Amino acid sequence: MSVPALLAISALAKGASAAVASTFTAPAAAPTDTSPFYVGASNGTITNSPLVPGKVFDRFIQIWLENTNYASAASQPTFQQLSTQGITLTSYYGVTHTSEPNYLAAVGGDFWGLYDDDFVAIPSNMSTIVDLLDEKSISWSEYMENMPSDGYAGFNYTNPDSYTYYVRKHNPLIMYDSVAQNSTRTARIRNFNDFAVDVGNNSLSQWIFVTPNLRDDGHDTDVAYASDWLTYWLPSLLNDTNFNNDRTLILFTFDETEVYTINNQVYSILLGGVIPENLRNTTDNTFYTHYSTLSTVESNWDLGNLGRQDTNKTVANVFSFVADVTGYKNLDVTDIPLLNITETIPGPLNPQYYVPYLAPTNGTGGGSGPTYIAPGTNMTLNAANAPAPVNLTANANGSRAGIRSAEGARLWISAGSAIVVGIIVSTLV
């Protein structure tokens, strides 16, 4: 989407919310308190498997804000203040545009050619970081602000004040059917009232993804508003040992830049008690992307890998203070790839450059374990004999939305013209 179009939409969002305060208002006295604003009341604290020590950290917490160029974030006093407590990553990049594909990439190692924010459901034979964590009984959870109930799979949610604060497109794991269709797993996709209860009971998981609501993450507002939310939420938690202890690593980042015509560099800081004293208030100019969060976690717990971009050495450097301990060899990437490319990346969610979902490619990730093969994977359908991309919209009367869910893909393919089906089959065999 063009920048003017984005601005127009954000202006609309602001206009539509006249009843909602334009400056950040704290929903409770502290982030460790529950609030009616967070919607569904917590139904009790989460149960975790026993702690699995990592090589460097025992807990990894990512906090994602929205749509901000590196320079605008770097100019915010809140972030400058936080940077003195951690390692500022001066060459960390989102992987494409729009928002949603970045969230998909951060947990699944791929964004499947997606370039918009439509409803998608990734088939259950596509793996995520949760498969790797569950294999080693490493606990995980997501905390989604204003999500009405645990494991909620809806496209968005509108609060009683008529404002839509929660959106599925910023909830990475719910978009994967391997998580969404398993109730053991959906119970771990929790809201902020659960967060308050889980912190209070010292029962936070070992891998955590935090998504503030559309206003607090800067999406419908701006970076100053998002930094006000962060000022409310983070500093007191940094002092709370139920959240942050000397084995906790925290990544605070943005999904993508606001402007598409520059490369996708986003402001990111590593924080937490595990950051060595001598590395606080320093910068690290190693080239990282959202895929680095996967390879870093794989390296820390010596996990397997997803056989996706987490095994692509160019885009998956491990955070160097971790790599230094685990022995992972980072690549010195001097020619940073363009990660602002959108719409033309082939994949199963790109109808103009359609390639079916493929089996993972055996590779080496951040850890020494093997590539995870999800149940129901057709190993013959792999990158080595993948068909060339097909322009589905040119050949059939199917709608773009048709390929955006597993059920839709089946219906679409079976309802699609014989020409399309013929092309896909003939290039495969």
Ligand X SMILES: *[C@@H]1O[C@H](CO)[C@@H](O)[C@H](O)[C@H]1NC(C)=O
Q: 195: which residues sit within 8 A by CB, 6+ positions away?
A: 31, 143, 210
Q: Which residue is nearest to ligand X (CB)?
A: 200
Question: CB 59 → ligand X: shortest distance, Å?
Answer: 18
From 58, 216, 220, 310, the catalytic residue: 220
345 is a site residue for ligand X (CB under 6 A): no
Which residues are within 8 A (CB) of 77 and not within 5 positions of it... i.e. 6 or more apart? Answer: 227
CB of 281 to ligand X, least distance (A): 4
* Closest listed residue to residue 86, CA positions, set 218, 253, 223: 253
285 interacts with ligand X by CB under 6 A? no
Q: Does 256 bind ligand X (CB under 6 A)?
A: no
Residue 387 found at the interface with ligand X (CB under 6 A): no
Min dist. Cβ of residue 164 to ligand X (A)? 4
Handedness of CA 219, 20, 216, 163 (dihedral sign): negative
The stretch near ligand X (CB under 6 A) out of 61-69, 254-262, 269-277, 319-327 is: 254-262
Count residues contacting ligand X (CB under 6 A)? Answer: 56
Assign 3-class secondary structure to the chain.
Answer: CCHHHHHHHHHHHHHCCCCCCCCCCCCCCCCCCCCHHHCCCCCCCCCCCCCCCCCCCCEEEEEEECCCCHHHHHCCHHHHHHHCCCEEECCEECCCCCHHHHHHHHHHCCCCCCCCCCCCCECCCCCCHHHHHHHCCCCEEEEECCCCCCCCCCCEEECCCCCEEEEHHHCCHHHEHHHHCCHHHHCCEEEHHHHHHHHHCCCCCCEEEEECCCCCCCCCCCHHHHHHHHHHHHHHHHCCCCCCCCCEEEEEEECCCCCCCCCCECCEEEECCCCCHHHCCEEECCCEECHHHHHHHHHHCCCCECCCHHHCCCCCCCCHHHHHHHCCCCCCCCCCCCCCCCCCCCECCCHHHECCCCCCCCCCCCCCCCECCCCCCCCCCCHHHCCCCECHHHHCCCCHHHHCCHHHHHHHHHHCCHHHHHHHHHHHC
Rg (CA), the chain: 21
Binding mask 57-96 for ligand X (x = CB under 6 A): ---------------------------x------------
Does the footprint of ligand X cover residue 370 (CB under 6 A)? yes
Binding mask 211-250 for ligand X (x = CB under 6 A): ------------------------xx--x-----------
Residue 352 lies near ligand X (rule: CB under 6 A): yes
- Specify the residue, 200 or 273, whose C-beta has the smaller distance to ligand X: 200
Is 197 a residue that touches ligand X (CB under 6 A)?
yes
Does residue 316 touch ligand X according to CB under 6 A? no
Shortest distance, CB of residue 237 to ligand X, whole angstroms?
9
Residue of 68, 76, 164, 350 that binds ligand X (CB under 6 A):
164
Minimum distance of ligand X from residue 187's CB (angstroms):
9
Q: Is residue 363 close enough to count as binding ligand X by CB under 6 A?
A: no
Answer yes or no whether residue 206 interacts with ligand X by CB under 6 A: no
The least distance separating ligand X from the CB of residue 236, rounded to whole angstroms, comes to 4
Contact call for residue 427 and ligand X (CB under 6 A): no
Q: Does 42 bind ligand X (CB under 6 A)?
A: yes
Respond yes or no: is residue 216 known to be catalytic.
no
Query: In whole angstroms, how close is the CB of 188 to ligand X at the nearest point?
Result: 9
Single residue of 10, 90, 156, 159 touching ligand X by CB under 6 A: 156
Q: What are the residues binding ligand X (CB under 6 A)?
A: 40-45, 84, 123, 125, 134, 149-150, 155-156, 164, 167, 182, 184-185, 191, 193-194, 197, 200-201, 235-236, 239, 260-263, 281, 312, 314-315, 337-338, 340, 352, 357-359, 362, 370, 376-382, 391, 393-394, 428
**Residues that are catalytic:** 220
